[in-house]
Amino acid sequence: MKTVKSPFKFKGGVHPDYNKDLARGKAIELVPVPAELVVSMSQHLGAPAKCVVKAGDYVVKGQLLGEKNGFISVPVYAPANGLVKSVEPRLGPAGGKAPAVVIDTTVPAPEGTDAAEKTLPPLDWKTASREELLARVNDAGICGMGGAGFPTCVKLNPPPGKRCEYLVVNGAECEPYLCADHQLMVERADRIRLGVEIMRKVLGQPAVRIAIEANKPEAIAAMEKAFADIDGNVEIVVLPVLYPQGSEKHQIFATVGRVVPEPPALPIDVGCVVENVGTVAAIADAVEKGRILLSRVTTVSGDAVATPKNVEAPLGTKYADLIAFCGGEKGHVAKLVSGGTMMGFAVSTAEIATTKTTSGLLLLSPKRVFQYSSQACINCGRCVRACPMNLNAAEIAKAVEADDIKSAEDAHVMTCIECGACSFSCPAYRPITQFCRRAKNSIRARIAAEKAKAAAAAAK
């Protein structure tokens, strides 16, 4: 194993105020099980899990709440013992609603109930088959924990004709304020090491590139120690501090110099698989210890929370309970953000609950936010220079503003990764990223309607 500096730098990118000092170096603290959990059936990319419990059922920690509901889906389990109060649509951090199981954890188990936590039998990864390891990743409910939530068992099983040559472990964590992955690497580097060993076996022994931004020297040192005696082609690649260095496409370029083509191309099309360090650690726990994914490490930060922390909380913990665990609000909270300030979502209530992809929760005071009015484009080109995908963001935004979705599609809007670099750079405060999202949603809706129409015609 060796440590190298990234030889490649992608075009574009920005340097927001990182504000990581608020939670940096704070040891991970375990959040006690709150009185109520709200466990969403849509904690991952793809189809929501199919709920298999109902109001009045008593569930125990590790019990199945929602079964996998399609190829791109993962199961969901109970993070704690309790009584199911209801199964109802609940608001998620991105603004939509999804079915959720509401659990009252204060209710004791009925007499005669086996209330012991349900786990999976530990596996010896060295003797287990590839198929057994893939099944374990699926059964543990593991999905990408860096933000997208793609089912991990699907990503680790490339389609016929595709081969993984590089496993890229994403430890960049380039979003402002967030330190969860950083602290995970510092405290649990051994779990990440084991997860990498397991994934290498599943993927056919590819080379490994562990990507960490240069502003995380403690994480680099911890990972160097953990991986010091590992066999094979393994490198820690120190990336320059540049947002969005954590994007999987840009991380592939920064570590191995390969370029992922436009959608629908995927990283596996250039021989790469990218997984977040949290996902890798979860795989180690699922295989070696039989642990189902029931909690995750999250950063609670911002200048309007009393004590910024890195916490490990049961999935389904409401934001209000996370805030209370961190000492409550400090002064007036002008904005509550789920995630980081670049790609996160401003939310209107602290009753929203954590999911497998909740990387952070930010409480910002009035001095950290301001009201603005969007103005006409001044054709300065800053958004074009900032775009890491080489898009003409200004022209896309103008097309969407004019309801000309076809022109936006012709300008490759589907390639947009919604990193927010364009909006961040715009002196006219134009919501360019939101224009791109609007266009992409419209295009996806049109494609879905066309497929449904074709299917109906074929069924006649």
Q: Is position 344 within any domain?
A: yes
Average pLDDT over the chain, rounded to an integer: 96
Per-residue confidence (pLDDT) for residue 370, from 0 to 100: 87
- φ, ψ at 365 (rounded to 5°): -85, 170
Give the chain's domain count: 2
Strand order in the sheet with 82-91: 36-40, 97-104, 82-91, 58-59
Of the residues 345, 371, 397, which one is the last residue of a structural domain? 371
CB contact at 8 A, 436 and 416: yes
Q: Is position 48 within any domain?
A: no
If asked whether residues 209 and 357 sit together in one domain, one would say yes
If asked whether residues 199 and 289 sit together in one domain, one would say yes
What's the predicted TM-score (pTM) here?
0.96
Per-residue confidence (pLDDT) for residue 94, from 0 to 100: 84
The C-alpha angle with vertex 313 and arms to 312 and 316, in degrees rounded to 5, equals 150
Cα separation, 123 vs 241, whole angstroms: 38
Domain containing 228 — which CATH number?
3.40.50.11540
Per-residue confidence (pLDDT) for residue 155, from 0 to 100: 95
Of the residues 371, 401, 431, which one is the last residue of a structural domain? 371
If asked whether residues 331 and 398 sit together in one domain, one would say no
Cα separation, 158 vs 161, whole angstroms: 8
Q: Is position 301 within any domain?
A: yes
CB contact at 8 A, 218 and 310: no
If asked whether residues 389 and 362 sit together in one domain, one would say no
Q: Is position 107 within any domain?
A: no
Per-residue confidence (pLDDT) for residue 386, from 0 to 100: 98
If asked whether residues 196 and 294 sit together in one domain, one would say yes
If asked whether residues 332 and 398 sit together in one domain, one would say no
If asked whether residues 281 and 426 sit together in one domain, one would say no
pLDDT under 50: residue ranges of the chain: none
Q: Is position 323 within any domain?
A: yes
In 3-state terms, the chain is what percent helix, strand and coil (to 5)?
30, 20, 50
- φ, ψ at 406 (rounded to 5°): -60, -45
Q: Is position 80 within any domain?
A: no
If asked whether residues 253 and 323 sit together in one domain, one would say yes
If asked whether residues 332 and 415 sit together in one domain, one would say no
Per-residue confidence (pLDDT) for residue 148, from 0 to 100: 82
Per-residue confidence (pLDDT) for residue 371, from 0 to 100: 87
Q: Is position 136 within any domain?
A: yes
If asked whether residues 453 and 346 sit together in one domain, one would say no
Distances (CA, A) of 423 to 282, 330, 396, 404: 34, 29, 13, 20
- What's the domain range around 231? 1-32+126-371
CB contact at 8 A, 330 and 304: yes
Tokens representing residue 271 in the block: 């021989």
Q: Is position 406 within any domain?
A: yes
Of the residues 349, 371, 393, which one is the last residue of a structural domain? 371
If asked whether residues 195 and 216 sit together in one domain, one would say yes
If asked whether residues 310 and 163 sit together in one domain, one would say yes
